[in-house]
A and B are shown apart, each in its own frame.
Chain A
Amino acid sequence: MATNRSGAAQRPNGAPQTKVCQFKLVLLGESAVGKSSLVLRFVKGQFHEYQESTIGAAFLTQTVCLDDTTVKFEIWDTAGQERYHSLAPMYYRGAQAAIVVYDITNQDTFGRAKNWVKELQRQASPSIVIALAGNKSDLAAKRMVEFEEAQAYADENGLLFMETSAKTAMNVNDIFLAIANKLPKSEGAGAAGAGGARRLADGEQPRPSSCCK
């Protein structure tokens, strides 16, 4: 249950040619589909059966290493209940990546995921990388959303897609890595990419704004 199966967060000291990029990532989706569990698995390698509901939002960070870059995710884990919808823009505004999560055992949550994708395409920064995660793949026996259906939808909309399981850790790190790979890591992308990317973090700029060589 290592936090980073591939890459590994700890790299040899001072590998001189690594860039460090910071990206803001937001998780969206119906409540109880496993957003917080995915983040918890990714960040701490843990899984709580009775993960409590998220009110407002939670914030966590995790670093992953690609070949020549270190990517630091600033992850906003949002509340799923529709009523908290009005808070969502505060979190996805300026995000460079989003994971829209649904529960493969519940068709309604897939519908809701599609709505989130639409909203992101409309409102979020145009360059945002969106991944679709069909969570709870360990409950395949109760599957209500077919893999092919979701894959087709993802292809149509240019989304990354994986079925994940926060419980068994299947594809959890992979989906974050896939996002990290897809994010533009050239100069000027990263944090500054979208207007207001750092809106929530204006005060904290100890590192160079996006990438440093």
Chain B
Amino acid sequence: MYQDNEDDYKFAACTYFAKNHPGETCGSNGLPLTPSSITILGLAQRLLTIEHPNLCTYLDIIRGKHERIIVVAEVVGKSLSDFKSKFTINEVVNIAHQVADALKFLHEQGITHRTLSDDNILVDGEGRVKLFNYGLYYMTGGGNEVSFPLGLPKYLSPETILNGGGPAADVWTFGIILLELCIGKLWQNLKPGPILRRILTLVHANNPAERMAREHDCYDAYKQLPENLRLVIEKCLKIYPRERATFSEIVDDLSQINTSEMAEVKQPRGLMGCKLQYLYHWWQLAGGDIQAELKKNGLIKNSPPILSMPIAILLDGCTIGGKTGALFDCRIAKYSLGLLKSRLSHISAHDYYPLMHERRKQYDAVSLPKIIRERDTEYQFYRLLWFQRLLHGYPYTAPYIRAEAEIDIPPLVRGDVWAALLGVVGDIEEQYERIDKETPTPTDRQIDVDIPRCHQYCWLLCGSAGHRTLKRLLKAWLLMNPQYVYWQGLDSLTAPFLYLNFCNEARAFACLSAFVPKFLHNFFLKDNSMVIKEYLAKFWQMTAFHEPELASHLHEINFVPELFAIPWFLTMFSHVFPLHKIVHLWDALLVEGPSLPLFMGVGILRQLRDTLLESGFNECILLFSDLPEIDIGECVKESIDMCRSSPRSISYRRFTNEARTKEPMDMVEIPMEMLFAEICPRISLSDFFSLICQDKSCVIDIRSNLLYEKSCIEGSINVPYSGVHLGQHELRALGLNPQRVLKEAMKVKKTIVVASAEDETAQLFSDYLVKCSVPRVCIFHGGISAVQTHLPSLFTTPAPPNKNGNK
């Protein structure tokens, strides 16, 4: 009965205006009131997650200019109001059954439809029904956030007209629609006022359904309906809401009457078989523009600004006249997928079903920056389908997910991928459900003042839904981690997880709970000073290791990391950067592991290097108080390079979640005071051994010539400490041979290992090398004697004469 190029139109948009707050009024905290559109967006997020065969999937909620809201959702077939022919009783029962199923589901979710009407019940060619735009009442906070009334007058229940009404109002509306399907449209030529009066007069009727049929001269037709169907209608059209049937009863009744068998849904293959959310995403990447189409269809009209100026503005900011809110515009604009189809037409059917054991395709796009890859239709097409496959197999596919995430993570599934990278498994909903998130605690005040300032440029986090959820997450986390306390910054740290899991609070919580022990172990202890000091000291050592010139300059002007880097690490940069940068930073963090942040810190310094080198203390600190634009892609790339090229032991920290090693070959732990004093990090014997095996190290033995000649590490050079002039920051001062060897080592990026008999001289000499701008300097942990004990095979007698020989 209905044939169009239906396949091309998968989704549609409608639009309306949120209520404007009169004037610019402030809330009790002195902050401006949250705009209605923001509140709507926050509420609507939940709708995006609803999936039911009889409900059109919501795809997107967009905030346009002037408090405009655009809702994008799936569409199928056409609406009941567009069908001109009458339905048979069987068809009616079948449609009613599916509508009731959908409403039953919504009521179970605590969502009241309230705007059900014949134009938002969609029926496709095979008789399958989907409700469209069922979330209007829900997303507008029960109509509070819009200035137009909700629902068509003739479908309103008596109690709705009088004072609002609850979920039972949907039952009434359902009854009216069912009645209309049976006896034809009601009150067709009446204006809203008389219709409402008619409905209210029904209050006196014993049997409103019968009464309405009689008013429309359809009493006989009504009486001819099968009795069980009539009974359902009458159960719905009770005046008192509490007397009406519930949808689970209605579904039961209708399933007994419904005889028509639904044809098996055949899942289309290829592009049209992909998840609708993916289609929408690709469509947007391919250049699809929701607003442009709305304009073309006349749903968005631009009017000259002069027409929207108010006639008068009162002193309190209230306006009179000007643009006034219109009624709800129920028109929709449908979007064609034609563009996307042609864009992806060359992709073979085989590529829609990637197999894990096959080698993944190589794409040209991989060499482009991540931000560009994220906007590439075809690349995202392959990546999303591939990740979908992998995520489906989680947790068994965890290693594959990690390997793929190393390349990049498609933004659409970032939340899922992060959870997989953090090893989130099990019934997290159940666990989260059990936590008391409501009982007031003394920390609440601090949380309350921090949340309204946390990433508020993000419209998800700045609405009341975002505020409430963030507070619950923080309270839950604090309750589950009694050893920790709330430090300012914890809010920023939680924000990215909330942002990516806005409708999956439990997963946001599980991610946070897994993230902290891995990356910020003990950072939120009441007394965290040692943990932070160690971290900053390590960060400073890594700076000296990779950026010696910068490090010595900053040391010289006494510019210590305590002054600027605490928020960096305490919040893993989430207090420093906006969310769109944090996600890229954390993508890398989650893959590379807990030592990466140290190098990210160095990466940031490196980008500011030139400015810092020519700045004094004040200029430096000013620079960090108002951090200039940092290229995150570059920073991530550099920090990964640094992290991977650094021996593991040099970034060792004692305050981590990992078990402490007992193996002397791996030990690098030194007392804290020593750590704070040493500019260069320590390297473990085993790391040193593997460097030697790869010929990536250059050992400088600073013992006396005498000891050196007795026995030394093979290939090392001797620079007796007693002969070094620490004041002269030039390599030349070390003598020709050492200078040449060091220069050579620097050229091929060897790690310079200082070996000494005493800690003190090793420390002073390594500082000296840093001041000479020698990169990659570290100290042998345990000194020469440790090598002698554990790696005696490395020792040899130097070839005479030692001054010229270099082995």
Contact = CB atoms under 8 A, between A and B. Distances in A.
Interface of A: 31-32, 49-61, 74, 79-81, 83-84, 86-87, 90, 105, 136, 138-139, 142, 167, 200-204, 206
A54 B455 CA distance: 13
A61 B622 CA distance: 8
B616 interface: yes
25 contacts: A31-B488, A49-B32, A50-B452, A52-B454, A53-B453, A54-B488, A55-B566, A55-B567, A57-B563, A59-B621, A59-B622, A79-B488, A81-B446, A81-B488, A83-B526, A90-B562, A105-B30, A138-B30, A142-B30, A167-B30, A200-B617, A203-B616, A203-B617, A204-B616, A206-B616
A-B pairs with the 5 shortest C-beta distances?
Answer: A203-B557, A204-B616, A32-B449, A50-B456, A55-B567
B583 interface: no
Contacts of A58: 625
Contacts of A51: 453
Nearest to A56: B566
A83 B557 contact: no
B627 to A, nearest CB: 11
B566 to A, nearest CB: 4
Contacts of A56: 562-564, 566-567
A206 B619 CA distance: 12
Contacts of A54: 488
B570 interface: yes
B450 A49 contact: no
Most A CB atoms within 10 A — which of B28, B485, B617?
A: B617
B237 interface: no
A204 B462 contact: no
Interface in B349-383: none
Interface bin, chain B:
35 or more
Interface of B: 26, 28, 30-32, 446, 449-450, 452-457, 462, 485-489, 491-492, 526, 529, 556-559, 562-564, 566-567, 570-571, 575, 616-619, 621-622, 624-626
B722 to A, nearest CB: 31
B602 to A, nearest CB: 19
Contacts of B571: 55
Most B CB atoms within 10 A — which of A57, A74, A90?
A: A57
B30 A139 contact: yes
A59 B486 CA distance: 24
A201 B617 contact: yes
B639 to A, nearest CB: 21
A84 B529 CA distance: 10
B617 A83 contact: no
A200 B558 contact: yes
A83 B485 CA distance: 9
A22 B462 CA distance: 40
A87 B558 CA distance: 17
Contacts, number: 103
Contact of A200 (B457, B526, B529, B563): B563
B497 to A, nearest CB: 18
A137 B77 CA distance: 59
B487 A74 contact: no
Contact of B449 (A31, A136, A201): A31
Nearest to B454: A52
Contact of A81 (B28, B31, B487, B492): B487
Nearest to B462: A50
Contacts of A80: 488
Nearest to B450: A53
B529 A86 contact: yes
Contacts of B624: 59
A50 B616 contact: no
Nearest to B528: A83
A210 to B, nearest CB: 15
A52 B456 CA distance: 8
A203 B562 CA distance: 16
B30 A83 contact: no
Nearest to A79: B488
Nearest to B455: A52
Nearest to A50: B456
Given A51-B453, A57-B563, A142-B28, A202 B488 contact: no
Given A90-B562, A139-B30, 9 more contacts: A31-B450, A49-B31, A53-B450, A55-B489, A57-B563, A59-B622, A87-B566, A200-B558, A202-B557
Given A83-B485, A86-B529, A32 B558 contact: no
B575 A55 contact: yes
Contacts of B626: 60
Contacts of B31: 49-50
Given A50-B462, A55-B570, A59-B563, A204 B453 contact: no
Contacts of B449: 31-32
A47 to B, nearest CB: 11
A72 B264 CA distance: 79
Contacts of A90: 562
Contact of A203 (B446, B457, B556, B567): B556
Contacts of B622: 59-61
Most B CB atoms within 10 A — which of A56, A105, A201, A202?
A: A56
Most A CB atoms within 10 A — which of B452, B453, B454?
A: B453
Most B CB atoms within 10 A — which of A51, A53, A80?
A: A53
A165 to B, nearest CB: 10
Contacts of B617: 200-204
A60 B625 CA distance: 7
A105 B457 CA distance: 26
A203 B452 CA distance: 38
B558 A203 contact: yes
